[in-house]
Amino acid sequence: MPAEARGVTHSLFDTLKSNRMIALRSGAHILSDTETATFICENPDVLARTLPLIVQWGFAARDDEGALYSPHLLQREIRRQEREQRRAEREESLRQFEAAQAAGLIPADDTLKGYQAKINGGSGGRPRKGETKGQARLRRAQEAEEAMRQRHMPLMRSMPGHDQSKTENPIQNQNRFSVSTNSVSKPVSSVPLDVDTELDNFPIPKPTSDGTEETAKPEQAKTQLSPAVINDTVKQVLQIANFTEGKRHQFPAIRKWLQDGCPPEVLIAAVRDHRAVMDSRPQHMGAFQAAIRAAWEQYQVPQTIAAPEPEQPEWEKKARADLAEDRRKWSEMLKQLGNFGTVQKVWAEKQSRLGRPTELALEAYLTAYRPKEDAA
């Protein structure tokens, strides 16, 4: 670039930067070339001669309304706003993380960086080579949906005596049979059984030493509840929690809590209390596991009737009220004067006139306000 044009470019850039401007505007007014030359302390003829070259080299440009601006300063402003937005997002994430730690949802010794690393690892890590973030997010969602579908896949179990016409293809040969070296078996029909609900009704037999089969009993008997109670509890929990996922994903977890013995009213109260302190909508019942377990344990502990607290005398109530008021006044005085030593002197004189203790401690106020006959 010629020296003359480079000098005008520096004048334009330095003037905009020193005035914290990006475009040559004064409110809604757009500066003309003559006004621009006066503003940047250049000759109008020199500016008119060098401005096309400056625009061609990319050191200046005009917006849709014809105002002259600096692309370099515009990019700096955009990057500054992006940094502020990222900083605000980090602070918001930290605030939510600390709130979750205070609520007991996240271990106290965990850090925000480690917690986010676990979430990123659980979502599949980085995108694959040649894959955009949107494509990676869609692929992970499909994989998660497929895994959920496989976990809830119905189990086919053979049940003799069942009506074949409802489960088998009528076009197939009804007289088919299988032949082996030791036996001839007739076909039996199959019906789908839900893995989560029906396996307990058909326990797996175990062979014994005498050749017979012994049916293994379940380790823990589950509470038998009517479908109406389960459906009503699920309906109330879904209405209170407002999950991002649907009923199909939450029903097994709620049913498991009820079958394990958790009373419906305890479950609903725990979900309601924990949802009130949450900042965002939960994704599934896992967000309430700790709260429900704590509420259930508290419910199982025998409740003891606490002894009524003795009523405070009038002088003690007045001492506590005056202490709270004096603490508020102390704070206001410290804000106004700003000097701790001066505040102490002024405060001591004021309290001496009022006959109150200068030390803002509960024991000092109780001693000063306690009647003489009680002190004796």
Q: How many CA atoms lie within 13 A of 311 on its CB side?
A: 2
| Residues 6 or more apart in contact with residue 356 via CB below 8 angstroms | 322, 326, 365, 368
Give the mean model confidence (pLDDT) for residues 133-138: 84
More confident residue, 153 or 328: 328
Quick check: 376 pLDDT over 70?
Answer: no
Quick check: 212 pLDDT over 70?
Answer: no
Measure CA of the first residue to CA of the last residue in the chain; give whole Å.
97
Structure tokens at 199: 């396996």
- Strand duo 184-185 + 29-30: pairing: unpaired
Query: Using 50, 70 and 90 to split pLDDT, how confident is the model at 81?
Result: very high
Query: Using 50, 70 and 90 to split pLDDT, how confident is the model at 248?
Result: low
Query: Using 50, 70 and 90 to split pLDDT, how confident is the model at 299?
Result: confident
More confident residue, 222 or 174: 222
Q: Which of 56, 122, 74 is nearest to 283 (CA)?
A: 122
pLDDT of res. 79: 92
Give the mean model confidence (pLDDT) for residues 33-47: 86
Residue 202 identity (one-letter amino acid): F
Q: Which of 232, 228, 204, 233 is nearest to 218 (CA)?
A: 204
Query: Which is it for the CA torsion 206, 201, 197, 193, positive or negative?
Result: positive
Quick check: 304 pLDDT over 60?
Answer: no
Query: Which is it for the CA torsion 160, 163, 169, 170, positive or negative?
Result: positive
Residue 113 identity (one-letter amino acid): K
Angle at 269 between CA 264 and CA 272, to 5 degrees: 125
Query: Using 50, 70 and 90 to split pLDDT, how confident is the model at 303?
Result: low
Quick check: 180 pLDDT over 80?
Answer: no
pLDDT of res. 82: 92
Q: What are phi and psi of 154, to 5 degrees?
A: -65, 145
CA 141 to chain centre: 19
Give the mean model confidence (pLDDT) for residues 38-67: 86
User: Alpha-carbon distance 144 to 124, whole Å?
Assistant: 10
Structure tokens at 213: 């089969």
Q: Which of 240, 300, 245 is nearest to 274 (CA)?
A: 240
Q: Is 3-69 in CATH node 1.10.10?
A: yes
